[in-house]
Amino acid sequence: MIALATLLAIPSANARPAPLFVTVDARVPVRVQIALAPSHALPCDSSDNTMVFDGMVTPGVGLALNVEEGPLCVRHANDDFPESTAGESQLWIRRPARIALHAHAP
């Protein structure tokens, strides 16, 4: 099952929404942050980015978003600290249509 959400950031002149599917491999729901990162800024909650999702994602359910194309910043928590924002931010320059996150604690 995939939870559906339509989250559009403030559109730019050439903005084109595109589907993005996110799944999480974890034992419990974990916090996921996804931001548009046109200037490649890290971390995801940088003031240079536009947050398009900041919430809990349940393993086995996933998340379907419709977001503007372009670089994305993705950060997620892990099993031991499921609501944390201390995880490492990852920059996706060539955004895939699917992102699989592995959130098991080390």
User: In a 10 Å sphere around its CB, with 0-12 CB exposed, 13-18 middle and 19+ buried, how is residue 94 labelled?
Assistant: exposed
pLDDT for 8: 39
What's the predicted TM-score (pTM) here? 0.83
What value does the mean pLDDT take over residues 89-103?
Answer: 90
Q: Tell me the fold of 3-8+18-102.
A: Immunoglobulin-like (2.60.40)
- Tell me: the pLDDT tens digits for 60-84? 999 999 999 899 999 999 999 999 9
Domains of the chain, by residue range, sit at 3-8+18-102
Give the residues across from 23 on adjacent strands: 100
- Residue 6 pLDDT greater than 80, yes or no: no
